[in-house]
Amino acid sequence: MSALYIVLRDNRTAFLPSETVEGHVAWRLNQPAESIEVRLFWFTRGKGTTDTEVAAALRFDRPPLSDQQPLRFTLPKAPYSFSGKLISLVWAIELVVEPSGETERLEITLSPTGREILLYPDFASPE
């Protein structure tokens, strides 16, 4: 199995809208690839159909077996990372090798507070 890495500057994973995410990706492949793509995207997790949207991507065609490349994405203003009782919206950066389909994913948080927004009250806490 290949080794895939996503490293963000200062190991930071919480961001405000419109901030820039910087870091690098690295890989050591066991066999040649047609391409490697780095994606900034969000997806839903929970009940029902999973929705996914790619906000930005970097593509490396015919990459060498071993390499390191910078990554830099400007985050959109929305949607925010959130969790509800039935569904969550999660932002992530993903490294995808084609045609093998090998992936590495790093989840990040995008919100005005830098924390995931909780859409349900905490019934365990007294008011």
The Cα 41–Cα 118 span in angstroms is 20
Amino acid in position 109: T
The pLDDT of residue 127 is 43
The answer to whether position 82 is within a domain reads yes
Residue 29 near residue 103 (C-beta atoms within 8 A)? no
Q: Which region among 2-11, 32-41, 112-121 has the lowest average model confidence (pLDDT)?
A: 112-121
The answer to whether position 123 is within a domain reads no
Band of residue 126 on the pLDDT scale cut at 50, 70, 90: very low
CATH number at residue 26: 2.60.40.640
The structure tokens listed for 74 are: 């400007």
The answer to whether position 54 is within a domain reads yes
CA 118 to chain centroid, in Å, comes to: 19
Band of residue 121 on the pLDDT scale cut at 50, 70, 90: low
Range 74-80 average pLDDT = 98
Counted domains in the chain? 1
Residue 96 near residue 103 (C-beta atoms within 8 A)? yes
The pLDDT of residue 1 is 82
The structure tokens listed for 24 are: 């690098």
Task: Give the range of the structural domain holding residue 28, as residue numbers without chain letter.
Answer: 3-118
Residue 125 has pLDDT above 50, yes or no: no
The Cα 95–Cα 105 span in angstroms is 6
Please tell me the number of Cα atoms within 13 Å of 62 on its side-chain side: 0
The pLDDT of residue 122 is 65
The answer to whether position 19 is within a domain reads yes
The answer to whether position 33 is within a domain reads yes
The pLDDT of residue 124 is 47
Residue 72 has pLDDT above 90, yes or no: yes
The answer to whether position 124 is within a domain reads no
The answer to whether position 7 is within a domain reads yes
The answer to whether position 96 is within a domain reads yes
Count of C-beta atoms within a 10 Å radius of residue 62: 9
48 versus 21: the higher-pLDDT residue is 21
pTM for the complete prediction? 0.91
Query: pLDDT digits over 83-94, tens only?
Result: 999 999 999 999
